[in-house]
Amino acid sequence: MANDLDPRLGPVQRFGRELARVRKEAGLSQARLGSRLGVSGSLVGHIEIGSRTAKPDFAARCDDIFGTGDFFQRLCRNITSPSAPSWFLRWSEEIEPRARVLRSWDPLLVPGLLQTGNYARAVFKGGLASSEEEIERQVSARLARRAILERENPPALWVLIDEWVLRRPIGGRQVMYEQLDHLAAVAARQSVRVQLVPADTPCTAGLMSGFALAELPDAPTAVSIESAGAGEVSAEHDLVTVVWDRYDRIRAEAYRPGESLQMIEEARDLWAHET
């Protein structure tokens, strides 16, 4: 049987798994939830095991009953209009929002959680998106992830970024100025630590891929690893240990948060004055 962090779960199964989890936490039986939703308990059961597909109005009523914002509505949209690969949806929809501490390493780009809309749009335009509509759907999904940083008790965020990211012209001068201005503002928050890794550091431990680690309050630490065209999410202990060790090695080479913030602000101002 797939475990709770199995990235092989499809969007229909993910919706069902999360519905069962939230229903049980609320102390409701399938029959009682069905009564409140205006459907049969049998339909709730079928949706939970993935043999029936939830409709948008069903998802919206679930959010109203459980007070989960638009959580179930987003899971439902991923069934018909997925905005990312299935392995990453598992991370962005179910793991990242539950994390109490997030750590990441990004050797090529500003991490997705901290991207502006225009920066993300430029990234997706250079990717595999097949239409403007798909690009905008991906941008919206990326910006929606930032909500976890605005809640009353946001996760602690520890971000490592290669210094070259500040110089890489994604989208042009204005896009870079806006992006670094936003990055500086987020880096100044009490719950966030952004550290730049010097561009002249060999940093061989981080050249293979970017990654993120999520410490969860009620489950083992999970890791997301992304390389060219592929990725995976896992809570397997040995893999998490290897990635955490790699994170520590990279961080040992990084500038302190205060120095890094100053460098981000200086790079932002350079983009503002370049012609």
Q: Give the per-residue pLDDT at 171.
A: 94
Among 70, 213, 84, 72, smallest CA distance to 155 is for 213
Q: Quote the tokens at residue 161.
A: 């970024």
pLDDT of residue 230: 65
Helices (H), 50-201: 56-66, 71-80, 86-90, 117-125, 132-144, 173-187
Report the C-alpha gap between 119 and 129 in whole angstroms: 15
Check: CB of residue 115 under 8 Å from CB of residue 183.
Answer: no
164/253 same-domain check? yes
H or E element, residue 1? none
The predicted pLDDT at position 76 comes to 85
| Contact assessment for residue 193 and residue 159, using Cβ atoms and an 8 Å cutoff | yes
Alpha-carbon gap, residue 60 to 71, rounded angstroms: 9
Is the same domain home to 197 and 100? yes
Domain span including residue 32: 1-81
Averaged pLDDT for residues 211-225: 92
Per-residue model confidence (pLDDT) at position 140:
84
User: Within 13 Å, how many C-alpha atoms sit on residue 155's CB side?
Assistant: 23
* 166-196 per-position pLDDT tens digit: 999 999 999 999 999 999 999 999 999 999 9
Where b means 16+ CB within 10 Å and e means fewer, 98-117 reads ebeebbbbbbebbbbbbbbb
pTM for the model: 0.73
Coil, strand or helix: which one is 228?
Answer: coil
In a domain, 122, yes or no: no
pLDDT at residue 136, as a whole number: 86
Question: Tens digits of per-residue pLDDT, 20-77?
Answer: 999 999 999 999 999 999 999 999 999 999 888 888 899 999 999 999 988 898 888 7
Q: Are residues 22 and 71 in the same domain?
A: yes
Is 74 contained in some domain? Answer: yes
Domain total of the chain:
2
pLDDT score at 134: 80
Contacts of range 47-50, beta carbons closer than 8 Å, 24 or more positions apart:
47/15, 47/16, 47/19, 48/16, 48/17, 48/19, 48/20, 48/23, 49/16, 50/10, 50/12, 50/13, 50/15, 50/16
The CATH number given to whatever domain includes residue 159 is: 3.30.870
Q: Which of the given ranges, 81-90, 131-140, 147-156, 185-194, has the highest pLDDT on average?
A: 185-194
Q: Based on the domain organization, do 166 and 198 belong to the same domain?
A: yes
pLDDT at 147 > cutoff 70: yes
CB 198 within 8 A of CB 250: no
- Residue 256, judged by CB atoms within 10 A of its CB (0-12, 13-18, 19+), counts as exposed
pLDDT, tens only, 106-146: 999 999 999 999 999 999 887 665 678 888 888 888 888 88
- Domain boundary, last residue among 35, 57, 81: 81
